[in-house]
Structure 1
Amino acid sequence: MVDGTQRVRVNGLDFSCRLDGPEGAPWLVFSNSLLTDMRLWDPQVDAFAAGHRILRYDKRGHGGTEVPDAPASIRQLADDAAALMAHFGVERATFVGDSIGAATAMLLAARAEPRVAAVVPVDGQPASPPNGAQMWQERIDLAAREGMSAFAEVTLRRWFAPESFVQGNPAIGRVRAMIEATPEAGFVACARALQSYDIREDLPGIAVPVLMVAGAADGAIPGIMRGLTGVIPGSRFVELPGAGHLPGIEAPGPFNAVLGSFLEERAAV
């Protein structure tokens, strides 16, 4: 199987994907947030590729993946992930997803996707907030009016912990470049998926291990995810101080320690 970045056609679109790590090793699959691409997970590939086979992909309309001609849905994004895992022969994987990727991870687990052995939802929620339709429409309008560069600045201030700006965390510039490179139409397609989704009724049926992780500086998200431990059987929650919406790149050391412990537990089962 060819390693490195490659293009794969599933569900009517060309997806940009990347394989790293030795064949035959336990699988890790990473799903990035809105407005980012697979480079979001570079710190995790550096940390875990020696002992894991890693699949990353750009979701529809992001990075090197084709922009769809219609709005996406969370269920469609889960279908994309399942199709890509099937294409690459992923038998059983730990699936890690941030934000919209977290919703994808939870839905895959809830519908008992056989290729998913455990999930790590990061800084995500199982339903749009009550004002979700209006909130996302305002963000879509801002991107259309001001352009992706201006939209990036607003988004970064919302995503990163204040101390990261004070300390000049280099992850800010890396994520800024991803946001600015995201096609506006690709952003809009996936933002539409976040306007009015709700998978809460699916969650009590999850039967695989679930580790939820959130940055302490990500607004209401830590509280929402902590509350899900009472809904998802056997799930756990870890809050990371000094991080916001993208802890894997903002605070990779603490994030990798938490993920690594979870992976070690899974390997010992």
Structure 2
Amino acid sequence: MPYADVTDDVRLFYTDDFSTDDHPGEDGRRPPLLLVHGWGTDSHQWSWHLDALTAAGHRVIAPDLRGHGYSSVPDAGNTPRAMAADLRALLDRLGVGQVVAVGHSMGAQVVSILAVEHPERVRALVTVDPGYGMSDDVARGFPQMIAALHGPRPHEAAEAIDEWCTNAATPAVIRRWHKRRLYGMAPHVLAEAFEALFTGPDAIGVRPASDAYLARRQCPVLSIWSDPGRAAWEAGLLKDPASKVVCWEGSSHRLHEERHAEFTHLVTGWIRRLPGGPAV
């Protein structure tokens, strides 16, 4: 389980998994996948999916973003844009030219930034209940949340925010798993990353900033939502005809963990049908 130095002060932990029968890459049967976790968690979020994705013939690269998991925790710069730049540097280090980038929540912002700023590196995107497209009524609560994250009990504030990520469909083990990771996070990272997602000067998490930025994505996008209204909103932004929006109404924000087998089946099937893909 290696590390890669991506800047002078940031070292990313990542795993790089593939089938023992085949090591697919750009010349293999399936495109490499880059799996990007959400806010306050780490790449272990993809433990539910790795075996199935590698069994389907994909090379699967799963990093811990800066400030998260086993990666470096810089004093500043823990933002989605910096995280996207880190991922490009990681791909350079691994000699991987192009990937299908899969991102959950904050990770969906990160991979969308990667696709906009470095389109040659992203064959397609899969965004999972993305951390963008927030409406004004939701955004009005962000300043208070950010103030609490900067306050004396940041982990309690993060746990309160995290309650939004679950519902009756969420197994207790998933709730506990994420709570433990939140409490292991550096408080300044929780605050800085959340602020950069939604209220910072370059934030793309709230409409209309989301609309303007995401419309710049040119690659195919598979977007999976739990909210039908936000799913319909994103459908209007997608340009490539191979794009698809799916809504699993009734699921929580962590729908890919709650329905992991269905999720991997959906994602691998969509990738196989992308135009210009290898014969199956």
Normalised to the residue count of structure 2, the TM-score between the two structures is 0.81
- For the aligned residue pairs, the C-alpha RMSD in angstroms reads 2.4
Equivalent position SS for 2:229: helix
Q: Structure 1 counterpart of 2:88, which letter?
A: A
Equivalent in the alignment of 1:20: 17
Which residue of the partner structure matches residue 145 of structure 1?
152
Q: What secondary structure is seen at the aligned counterpart in 1 of 2:70?
A: coil
Uncovered stretches (5+) of structure 2, i.e. residues with no partner: 26-30, 205-209
Matched position secondary structure for 2:47: helix
Give the equivalent residue in structure 2 for 1:236: 244
Name the counterpart of 1:43. 48
Identify the match of residue 213 of structure 1 among 189, 211, 224.
224
The 8 Å contact of residues 71 and 188 in structure 1, kept in 2 or not, is answered as no
Matches of 2:76 and 2:142, distance apart in 1:
16
- By percentage of residues, which structure has more helix? 1
1:160-239 to 2 correspondence within 5 Å?
160-164=166-170, 168-194=171-197, 195-196=199-200, 197-198=203-204, 199-216=210-227, 222-233=228-239, 234=241, 235-239=243-247
Residues in 2 aligned to 1:81 and 1:6: alpha-carbon distance in whole angstroms: 15
Whole-Å separation in 2 of the counterparts to 1:17 and 1:178: 17
What is the aligned counterpart of 1:6 among 2, 7, 20? 2
Identity of aligned residues (%): 24
**Letter of the 2:152 counterpart:** R
Q: Choose which of 238, 258, 263 in structure 1 pairs with 2:266.
A: 258
Q: Matched residues in 2 for 1:129 and 1:73: separation?
A: 21
Describe the superposition over 1:66-125 as per-residue Cα deviations: whole angstroms up to 9, x where unpaired: 122224333222211211111111122110001111112222222342121000111125
Query: Could you give the per-residue CA deviations for residues 159-182 of structure 1, whole angstroms, max 9, x where no partner exists?
Result: 012233xxx442222112221211
2:28 — aligned with what? none
Q: Is the Cα–Cα contact under 8 Å of residues 62 and 187 in structure 1 kept in the other structure?
A: no
Q: Name the residue aligned to 2:100.
A: 94
Letter in 2 for 1:210: V
Q: Is the 8 A contact 1:71 1:193 kept in 2?
A: no
Q: List per-residue Cα deviations over 1:8-63 (Å, max 9, x = no partner).
A: 11133111111111433430101110011001111110211221111111111111
Structure 2: distance between partners of 1:133 and 1:24 = 42
**Deviation per residue, 1:127-155 (Å, 9 max, x gap):** 5654777634432433433342x345423
- Which amino acid in structure 1 is aligned with residue 46 of structure 2? W
1:57 to 35, 55, 63: 63
Within the alignment, does 1:247 sit opposite 2:262 as a pair? no
Measured against aligned partners, the alpha-carbon deviations of 1:178-235 in whole angstroms (never above 9, x if no partner) come to 212111122122112112313532333322111001124xxxxx42232122122133
**Residue pair 1:44, 1:256 contacting (<8 A) in 2 also:** yes
Maintained 8 Å contact 1:240/1:254: no
Compare 123-132 and 5-14 and name the one that shifted more.
Answer: 123-132
**Aligned partners of 1:41 and 1:174: how far apart in 2?**
12
Letter in 1 for 2:24: G
